[in-house]
Amino acid sequence: MKSFIAVGIILLSILMALSFCVASEKDTVNSPVYLLSEHNLSIGLDSKFRVTYAGFSPVTTGLFMNSFGITGAGQKGMADLEIVSVSNITDAEKSLGSEVTMQLFSAGVISAYGNEVLGNWTTSDARGQNVIVQTIPTNKSSSMYVFGKTTDYATWSLGDDIYAVLLSQFDKDVTEKIIRTLNISS
């Protein structure tokens, strides 16, 4: 009796496997799959500068951030750089698009710094696209406050739903060089 049950279970398993193999397209289940891929980061700063990887974190659904700290020997200031991959997982994010999602992210950053923009200037990135840099007051509770009372903030596209977010307390020349030379490649 046990052998008949075992044979029955085996036959049922084989039939189920065959049914999956011969299922029509209307019987298939489709689901989005979000994958991260490795890229190379390069910034054209001289050897006085050090770029330190601070880690990876999925911030919210659809935003994945790699954090870097930039310091320079003999240079006043420092910078925090985030490389953000936007996957727009939710329907609301899909309807907005990755660029609008990043604009909302930027509004959140500026809000965290007191909703005050003291000024702005424009430069171009490594792809020749314009990047608006906003000068905002440095949060007094931030470790960056020791380098000055203002911080330059910029967010720009690196292509393929990948964005750079820069908070820099270096002078304008160094900040501009970071933006102009930062490149992501596969």
Domain-located, residue 157:
yes
In a domain, 56, yes or no: yes
| Average pLDDT score over residue span 157-163 | 84
pLDDT of residue 162: 86
31 in any annotated domain? no
- Residue scoring higher pLDDT (185 or 87): 185
Is 16 a member of any domain?
no
| CA dist., res. 184 & res. 157, Å (int) | 11
User: The domain spanning residue 150 has which CATH number?
Assistant: 3.40.1000
pLDDT attached to residue 45 = 93
Highest mean pLDDT among 7-16, 110-119, 173-182: 173-182
Which tokens belong to 3?
């052998």
What is the rounded distance in angstroms from the CA atom of residue 36 to the CA atom of residue 171?
A: 34
**Domain assignment of residue 101, given as a range:** 40-185
Is it the case that residue 12 has pLDDT exceeding 50?
A: no
Whether residue 75 has pLDDT greater than 70 = yes
In a domain, 23, yes or no: no
**Per the domain annotation, does 34 fall within a domain?**
no
Under a CB-based contact definition with an 8 Å cutoff, are residues 65 and 82 in contact? yes
Mean pLDDT of all residues in 169-183: 95
The overall pTM is greater than 0.95: no
24-47 average pLDDT score: 73
Percent of the chain at pLDDT above 90? Answer: 32
The answer on pLDDT for 133 being more than 90 is yes
Instruction: Name beta bridge partners: 70.
Output: 51, 79
Q: Is pLDDT larger for residue 119 or for residue 146?
A: 119
Domain count, the chain: 1
| Domain membership flag for residue 148 | yes
Q: Indicate the length of the chain as a whole number.
A: 186
Residue 26 gets which letter from DSSP? G
- Count, in order, helices (H) and strands (E) of the chain: 4, 9
Residue 52 lies in a domain: yes
Element (H, E) at 169: none
